[in-house]
Amino acid sequence: MNTERRASVKALIKEAELATAPSDFVHQFYLDQSKLHEDNQSEDVDEFTEQRLLDKNDPFIDLTLAQYCFHPETLGALFNKSRMDKNVALELACISNTTVSRRRYTFVKLPEALFTQSREGEIGVWFKMIRNEEIDALFRNPTIDDGFLSDVLEGKQFWAEMTDEQKTTALMALCNNPRIVTHYDNEMMDGYAEYLHRRVPNAIWHLAEILPVQGEWAILLGSLLAKVVGGTHGMDMVAATKRWDVVDEKEKEEKKKQWLNPFESVRYALYKAGGQVRDPYGKDRAEVRKQLLANDDLAFRAAVYSQLQLTPDEITSAYEKDKLVAFQYTIDNLQIWKNPDSRKALHDICWDADGRYNNNYMDCANHYKWKEKELKTKYPEWFVEKEESSEPEEIDETKQALTVSVTKELLADRNANPALHYAELIHALIVDVGKALRALNWIFWGLVALFVFEVYKR
């Protein structure tokens, strides 16, 4: 810890306030601060203030600081204390801390921040004795250091020494880590930080090349690949897909297919990310699309269902062929939702599936309604109903005749010769009346009477 202190007035006041406050006040303060953006964190709380809080030796304050403290010196002291006292809860709270790594201008992130005051001072020593609970907390932490995480997943650090149980624990925790679904959105121009951020999803995709091709690993890998956001740089996607091309005969013979098996889930993700499913162009487009939809691999067809802008007939055919699998992978296809006709076909298969396969539990229909509500909020323009042109009424032509042939002529020139004017008007009206038939009879005879009256008047 620094021996020289340069504290602001606010920091000195905040130190006095926290040091004399009850533990529940301290807890609420740190809890509130942890919810703020990183730019608002720890401005008024330095490491000296946190040291004074540590000196109180209050278990509740220690647990609060372990979860929410701002400074790695504080976290390191608490982690060392937790291990010496064999305080598992305090130890896990330290590993779960997310504020230290999110501080502005921080250079020490987890897990390195845990060892700033450790006697061993080596992460490797800790990893040799690490428990599953600690692995779970570390790989579930969204602020885990990108470089450390990438090194582990790429096999450069610790992976070889970890048992299969520890590896599966780490991957299961990572499946629930918001970090793997986070895009890089740092406004600052930091090429190295962006590089580290992009390494993580790339390392996850490369697991398809190194994990054993076995059911339990396929379950974990499929879950990871379904969530991860990022590219597949330097990876042979075709080769990786073939590696997981395992056929389960029992699944193959199943008559009512309801979901992809673990191996198919991995292949589905690889097909989708590898760009192997593309809507073709050209004069043979229809034939190529037909081949895509007829592919022997259900995982490939599922990728087609989730990406291509399917026609209503293609949606219906897919459902008849692959049943609930077709539903599961068309329901999230935004291309389908954009088109009213395709959306109607999707609606129909959802309602049919519940009656045919779901014992009328309405799961598919409710999924449709939930998705529809979500997309109406995001893309309301997709659901704007076009005004349907009504069938032309018999009266329309009459109105048109009156408007065009009569009204305009009557108002055109009041000074014209009345007899000639009405003669021309009657001739034009006879043509229009032929179209309107009986609807115009009364107009015709009325105008004839008007003409006779005008002549008689003259």
Q: What is the pLDDT of residues 344-370, one digit of tens each?
A: 999 999 999 988 887 778 899 999 999
Q: Which residue did the predictor score with more confidence, 240 or 436? A: 240
* Residue 257 clears pLDDT 90, i.e. is over it: no
Q: Can you give the pLDDT at residue 404?
A: 47
The string of pLDDT tens digits covering residues 189-237 is: 678 888 888 999 999 999 999 999 999 999 999 999 999 988 888 889 9
Spell out the alpha helix ranges (H) of 115-190. Answer: 123-128, 132-140, 146-153, 164-175
Helix (H) or strand (E) holding 365: helix 363-378
Mean pLDDT, rounded, for 19-24: 95
User: Residue 415: pLDDT band by 50, 70, 90 thresholds?
Assistant: very low
Average pLDDT over residues 134-143: 97
Mean pLDDT of the chain: 84
Query: CA 299, CA 400: separation in Å to the nearest integer?
Result: 59
Distance CA(363)–CA(187), nearest Å, equals: 42
- Average pLDDT of 385-396? 53
What is the model's pTM? 0.77
211 contacts: CB under 8 Å, gap ≥ 6: 217, 220, 221
Residue 409 has pLDDT above 90, yes or no: no
More confident residue, 271 or 118: 271
- Each residue's pLDDT tens digit, 302-327: 999 999 999 999 999 999 999 999 99
* Sign of the alpha-carbon torsion through 76, 78, 84, 86: negative
Per the structure block, which two tokens stand in for 349? 């298969």
Q: Over the stretch 330-340, which tens digit does the pLDDT of each residue have? A: 999 999 999 99
39 pLDDT more than 60: no
Residue 34: C-alpha distances to residues 23, 39, 114, 257, 302 (Å): 17, 11, 18, 46, 42
Residue from 154, 136, 36 nearest 88 by CA: 136
Question: Under a CB-based contact definition with an 8 Å cutoff, are residues 171 and 135 in contact?
Answer: no
Query: Which residue type sits at 264?
Result: E
Contacts of 422 (CB under 8 A, 6+ apart): 447, 450, 451, 454
Lowest mean pLDDT among 53-67, 256-270, 378-392: 378-392
pLDDT top residue among 116 and 140: 140
- Predicted local distance difference test score (pLDDT) of residue 410: 42
Q: Is it the case that residue 55 has pLDDT exceeding 80?
A: yes
Better pLDDT: 387 or 262:
262
Q: Does the pLDDT at position 250 exceed 50?
A: yes
Is pLDDT above 70 for 32? yes
